[in-house]
Amino acid sequence: MDSYPQEIPLEELIETITKKRLSIIREKANEVRKTRRDGRLTAILSLAKVGPITNRNIREELKISRATAANYLNFLVNQGNLTKIGRGRSVSYVLSKL
């Protein structure tokens, strides 16, 4: 009996290595996104400590899109960190009372 390891077809080996490398790249990208997101959420809360904030304030300060600012603000409202005041274009956000 031979004690050699079983041969793996080259294509299968390449596919396995490629999938592993992509997985590592994806994990690193997710870490970068999470770090950036956490930093932005912290910045929004810091701005809210000064006074009421709006979507526009956040967009201008952080250089992000309207949708991204809305997502961050909604997340902070849902987490109980911010309170939404008003409706429509006159919406502002303040720190929630703990």
Residue 4: inside a domain, yes or no? no
Residue 1: inside a domain, yes or no? no
Instruction: Say what percent of the chain tops pLDDT 70.
Output: 94
Give me the helices (H) in 8-97, please. 10-50, 55-62, 66-78
Q: Return the residue matching tokens 């939404």.
A: 84
pLDDT band at 22 (very low <50, low <70, confident <90, very high): very high
* Contact by Cβ (8 Å): 81, 96: yes
Residue 3: inside a domain, yes or no? no
Residue 83: inside a domain, yes or no? yes
Mean residue pLDDT of the chain comes to: 93
* Domain membership of residue 59 as a residue range: 10-95
Residue 5: inside a domain, yes or no? no
Q: How many domains does the chain have?
A: 1
5 vs 49, more confident? 49
Model-level pTM?
0.77
- The token duo for 7 is 């041969």
Residue 66: inside a domain, yes or no? yes
d(CA 82, CA 78): 8
